[in-house]
Amino acid sequence: MALKLETGTRLVVATHNPGKVKELIEILDGRFDLVSAGELNLPEPDETETTFVGNALLKARAAADASGLVALADDSGLSVKALDGAPGIFSARWAGPEKDFAMAMRKVEERLEEVGADDFSAWFTSALAVAWPHGPAVVVEGRVDGVLTFPPRGDKGFGYDPIFLPEGCDMTFGEMAPATKDGMSHRARAFEKLKAALL
């Protein structure tokens, strides 16, 4: 039997990050009844996998099994070519327990200075996983390439958005209107694949 998600299905979004919840709500365009893991006081599982896909699956399965709802999880991050793909799956952890992304962006800049980088190529990856309670799961991955720019620009978006210039653009994700970013982001590209698989 093909796995399908009906419009109006209640989904638990497996994150405690309000920015990520807001962006997913916008990308999903009101199609589902969303509640976050934070609102349900679900524990955050340790992200012990070594890939975005692995961590997205881990988080979706944990939220689905704990809540009894179909769960949607995103694991995403920034990878920098000159830093051998770092911070990658550790993107959130670079911001520390306080989720201080101003500090995380400074850390990226400092690491680039340390290695004497002249190539600021970078990319965002998003793995989206949907899991049914104690059942099957589907996972897809999207990516958007660009370059880093310093100092950070813009106060929209979240995370590393203010230092990321997507290919062919002169505005950072942090400067773009949400609808513009949602039309091209790694998360939007992953969701297009998810829609093809499930909707």
Classify residue 176: in a domain, yes or no: yes
pLDDT of residue 105 exceeding 90, the answer is yes
Number of domains in the chain: 1
Nearest-angstrom CA–CA distance, 111 and 142 = 26
At 146, list the tokens.
């660009």
pLDDT of residue 1 exceeding 50, the answer is no
Nearest to 128 by CA among 195, 38, 44, 65: 195
CATH number of 150's domain? 3.90.950.10
Classify residue 124: in a domain, yes or no: yes
Q: What are the residues facing 12 on neighbouring strands?
A: 35, 71
Classify residue 1: in a domain, yes or no: no
Nearest to 14 by CA among 72, 69, 99, 57: 72
Average pLDDT over residues 174-187: 91
- pTM reported for the whole predicted model: 0.87
Residue 119, domain extent: 10-198
Nearest-angstrom CA–CA distance, 11 and 67 = 10
DSSP H or E run through 140: strand 137-148
CB 104 within 8 A of CB 93: no
Tell me the CA end-to-end span of the chain in Å, nearest whole number: 14
Classify residue 58: in a domain, yes or no: yes
Classify residue 34: in a domain, yes or no: yes
How much of the chain, in percent, has pLDDT values that exceed 90?
Answer: 70
Rounded mean pLDDT of the chain?
91
Classify residue 2: in a domain, yes or no: no
Candidate list 33, 46, 75, 84, residue with the active-site label: 75
pLDDT at res. 63:
96
Report helix angle 18-28 to 186-198, nearest 10: 50
Is 75 an annotated catalytic residue? Answer: yes
> pLDDT digits over 131-173, tens only?
999 999 999 999 999 999 999 999 988 899 999 999 999 999 9
Average pLDDT over residues 85-105: 95
Lowest mean pLDDT among 15-19, 93-97, 105-109: 15-19
Lowest mean pLDDT among 32-36, 87-91, 126-130: 32-36
